[in-house]
Structure 1
Amino acid sequence: MPAELSATEALGLWHRVTLEQVRQGGYDLSFRQLSILLHIYLVPPPHTVRGLAATLGVSKPVITRALDSMGALQLVDRVRDERDRRNVVIKRTLSGALYLEKFGDLIRSEARRPMP
């Protein structure tokens, strides 16, 4: 069910979610990393470095640096495309799926709380 929030209420919700994420010791992802991760998990695959760069409007090295960080956290994995070895395919991981599931639950939980 869609919720009608003012800009201030939406920012307040985002503040509570990010604050709780920090308190819980969650990963410290940048907006870019979070955007990439959400895209990989919410948009049907396949995902390539080239495709992610085009979607986000950034260079391939920018995507590669973000994927390096997220790969070290085991949120995503990269493999060479067997059909075209020039392409790198980004794969989902169990750790990444669990992270986003918990993050989604956190958003839902904070959205149910009354605004201060």
Structure 2
Amino acid sequence: MARNLKALGLWRTALVASVRQDGPDLSARQLAILLQVYLTDPPHTVRGLASLLNISKPAVTRALDRLSVLGFVKRKRDAEDKRNVLVQRTVKGSVYLSDFAELVIAAGAVTADDMAQLRTDDAMAAAAKARMEADLQAPPQPGGLGDAAMDAMTVMEASAS
């Protein structure tokens, strides 16, 4: 649960930073389409995007209308099949996503508290490992796990929560 909350917190931080900027405020659908166009190999069509995202073609068309007005994508008739409309990338769209990526990176930056927790976890794990290695070299104790094995299990349980 803590991992989920952290991931959502990072996403929230990036989105809030994006909304606070002077740029356009994209819907989740518009952003999903934009990311699909830029992060996967072309060609991209309205039909293909609708199928991939499991949304209607009119919903894709409305999102593309907005993205086109912003200059983030352009549409072009397929020369081979006039029924198809190809969705193409633009420099302006690339710049927008590059800036958005920087916001996501900044949201995920490691804080001093994160580093302190990592050092604590690493120290606990190293101590448990040392005790386990010592237990392995000591003669076996009848009736159960050694102290190091118990310590290692405690560390694993603590890091899982």
* TM-score normalised by the chain length of structure 2: 0.66
Q: CA deviation at 1:113?
A: 4.8
Of 78-87 and 103-112, the range deviating more from structure 2 = 103-112
Percentage identity across aligned positions?
49
Give the aligned partner of residue 90 of structure 1. 87
Name the count of aligned residue pairs. 112
Of 103-112 and 71-80, the range deviating more from structure 2 = 103-112
For residues 11-41 of structure 1, give each alpha carbon's deviation from its aligned partner in whole angstroms, at most 9, with x where no partner exists: 1111111111111123211111100000000
Give the aligned partner of residue 73 of structure 1. 70
Give the aligned partner of residue 112 of structure 1. 109
Give the aligned partner of residue 24 of structure 2. 27
Structure 2, unaligned runs of 5 or more:
114-161
| Aligned-partner residue type, residue 24 of structure 2 | Y
Give the aligned partner of residue 18 of structure 1. 15
Structure 1, unaligned runs of 5 or more:
none
SS in 1 for 2:10: helix
Instruction: Calculate the aligned-residue CA RMSD, in Å.
Output: 1.6
SS in 2 for 1:112: coil
More helix by share: 2
SS in 2 for 1:78: strand
Q: Which one of the candidate residues 34, 40, 46 is aligned to 1:43? A: 40
SS in 1 for 2:108: helix
Please give the alpha-carbon distance, in whole angstroms, between the structure 1 residues aligned to 2:49 and 2:13.
29
Higher RCO (CA-CA < 8 Å; seq separation 6+): 1
